[in-house]
Amino acid sequence: MTDILVTPVALAPPAAVPQTAVPVRRPRRLVRFLVRRPGLVLAGVLVLLVVVAAFAPGLFTGQDPLVGEPVEKFTAPGAAHWFGTDELGRDLFARVVHGAALSLKATLIAVSVAFVVGGLLGLVAGFVGGWVEDAIMRVVDVLLSIPALFLSLAFVTALGYGTIEVAVAVGIASVAAFARVMRAEVLRVRTAVFVEAAHSSGARWYSVLGRHVLPNSLGPVLVLATLELATAVLAVSSLSFLGFGAPPPAPEWGSLISGGRNYLGNAWWLTAMPGLVVAATVLSINRIARALDGEWAAAR
């Protein structure tokens, strides 16, 4: 038998994949996403400016929002005073910038109260079920049957006047929406295959709730919280406009709009400028929330 000699063939090493392909692609996709949505970019910039003004108002103005020059009262908007001055000669732009801290604080407290309380109620109702679910959801139905502004007025009357009281009242009035969304998501996740597998493997109920049900139910509730930020800004400003917020001379946005009503004939900017800031903030938050909602729906 003739021996067959096999010559080893050197195999070429696989082509190396450039390590920078993936990191470079993601920024390009982000840039294309933002270029196609200039309104979203503008909304993000405006919300960022409001947040920065709330925490560092000195970056935008060096004027004292509580001290004015009587000789400069009712000065129209211009280079010296961008938003004009009020009846006491106080710079309106400074008052709007410093008022962002009070209004934003109340908004965040309101949404946090609604998110925590409503989320817990919806979580318990959806996970426990039975008569507990029926009792919680009937209370939620009663809250939903009352207009949010009237419900906020009832709570703030019981709690008292002030920024924190207004925020808590607005938050309690928004609990029902969070409870319904959380319950719906918990009911959906509770019947998923991975949750049933966890139950079958002998996992404790609190382990299933904390590791599987809750993390997979939070997405839509977080999107709702973003949507409710705009609603909370309007609600807090409305109650402040009615006189339930911080007492004068605190420059809350709603009280600034209310204070300029008596001077619409000769100083329109006292109401128009704070109103435009509130409107622009609400529209910007709504635009960002719609984008997040669309991304979440596409991801699902």
Which residues are bridge partners to 91 per DSSP? 85
Place of tokens 């003004």: 53
Distance of alpha carbon 43 from alpha carbon 284, whole angstroms: 4
Structure token pair of residue 174: 């928004």
Residue 251 within a domain: yes
Residue 105 within a domain: yes
pLDDT on residue 299: 60
Mean pLDDT of 59-79: 86
Residue 257 within a domain: yes
Mean pLDDT, all residues of the chain: 83
Q: What is the pLDDT of residues 89-123, one digit of tens each?
A: 899 999 999 989 888 889 999 999 999 999 999 98
Residue 264 within a domain: yes
Residue 248 within a domain: yes
**Domain tally, the chain:** 1
Distance of alpha carbon 105 from alpha carbon 55, whole angstroms: 10
Residue 242 within a domain: yes
Please say whether the beta carbons of 254 and 98 come within 8 A. no
pLDDT band at residue 32 using 50, 70 and 90 as cut-offs: low
Distance of alpha carbon 300 from alpha carbon 298, whole angstroms: 5
Structural domain of residue 282, as residue ranges? 91-299
Residue 229 within a domain: yes
Residue 83 within a domain: no
DSSP conformation class of 204: -
pLDDT on residue 6: 47
Q: What is the pLDDT of residues 158-211, one digit of tens each?
A: 888 888 899 999 999 999 999 999 998 888 888 777 777 877 777 787 777 777
Place of tokens 């807090």: 236
Q: What is the pLDDT of residues 207-254, one digit of tens each?
A: 777 777 888 888 888 888 888 888 899 999 999 998 888 887 888 899
CATH number, residue 264 = 1.10.3720.10
pLDDT band at residue 71 using 50, 70 and 90 as cut-offs: confident
| 3 state SS for 99-158 | HHHHHHHHHHHHHHHHHHHHHHHHHHHHHHCHHHHHHHHHHHHHHHCCCHHHHHHHHHHH
